[in-house]
Amino acid sequence: MRENPDKPIALIDMDGNWLQWGVRLNEILLRLDPSFPIVADDRRTGWDDLAGPGADPAVLREAMNHPDLYNGLEPVPHSVDAILEMADEGWDVFHCSTPTWSNPGCVPGKLDAIDQHFGPKWVDKLILTHDKTVVLGDVLIDDKGIITGAVVPTWKHLIHDQSHNRSVTGKPRMTDWREWRGHVYPLLGAVSV
Task: Please give the model's pTM, rounded to 2 decimal places.
Answer: 0.91
| Region for 90 from its dihedrals, namely left if φ exceeds 0, alpha if ψ lies in -120 to 50, beta otherwise | left
Alpha carbon 117 to its chain centroid, in Å, reads 15
Nearest Cα neighbor of 11 from 187, 179, 190, 182 is 187
Please name every residue paired with 139 in a beta bridge, in sequence order, or none if there are none: 10, 156
Q: Are strands 126-128 and 156-160 parallel, antiparallel or unpaired?
A: unpaired
20, 143, 8: which is closest to 80 by C-alpha? 20
Grouping H, G, I as helix, E, B as strand and the rest as coil, residue 173 is strand
Q: How confident is the model at residue 42, as a pLDDT?
A: 77
Q: CA 149 to CA 47: how far, in whole Å? A: 16
The predicted-structure confidence for 53-108, as pLDDT tens digits, reads as follows: 889 999 999 999 999 999 999 999 999 999 999 999 999 999 999 999 999 999 99
pLDDT score at 44: 78
Q: Integer distance in angstroms from the first to the last C-alpha of the chain?
A: 27
- The catalytic site residues sit at 13, 15
Please give the average per-residue pLDDT across 156-161, as a whole number: 96
